[in-house]
Amino acid sequence: MDELLLSKIRLGAIAELLSSEWITFPTLVRSLGTTNGNLGAHLLKLVDAGYVNEEKTFVDKRPQTRYRLTRRGREAFKKHVGEMQTLLRKAI
């Protein structure tokens, strides 16, 4: 079981990233309804695990950090769901 995926914020971030390409930090803060500090800590874990890529650039002379799901992150999420489904079969 993937402990990284046992988190509301991290799962929410992955959900957002599943359907788009790059998403910026402030966009994720708003869509997840959390705070800068909290999201920053969670994203760091996802980056460290290789589940998301982080890219720091400047846009209009302002810093911009954006994130994208990696293949590895996508596969990890699929695997996680598969494990849950396997468990669920026992429930029916």
Partner DNA sequence: TAGATTAGTCTATAAAATAGACTAATCTAC
Partner DNA sequence: GTAGATTAGTCTATTTTATAGACTAATCTA
Size of the site for DNA (CB under 7 A): 24
How many residues belong to the site for a copy of itself (CB under 8 A)? Answer: 23
Selected from 1, 8, 75, 79, the binder of DNA by CB under 7 A is: 8
51, 70 Cβ separation under 8 angstroms = yes
The CA distance from 44 to 14, in Å, is 13
Give the C-alpha separation, 10 to 34, whole Å. Answer: 11
Among 12, 24, 27, 70, binds a copy of itself (CB under 8 A): 12
Among 14, 23, 32, 43, binds a copy of itself (CB under 8 A): 14
Answer yes or no: are the C-beta atoms of 17 and 67 closer than 8 Å: yes
Measured between alpha carbons, how far is 16 from 23 in angstroms, rounded to an integer?
A: 8
Least distance in angstroms from the C-beta of 13 to a copy of itself: 11
Sign of CA dihedral 29, 32, 35, 37: negative
Considering only the stretches 21-29, 71-79, 80-88, report the one whose residues sit in contact with DNA under the rule CB under 7 A.
21-29
3 binds a copy of itself (CB under 8 A): yes
90 scored as a contact of DNA (CB under 7 A)? no
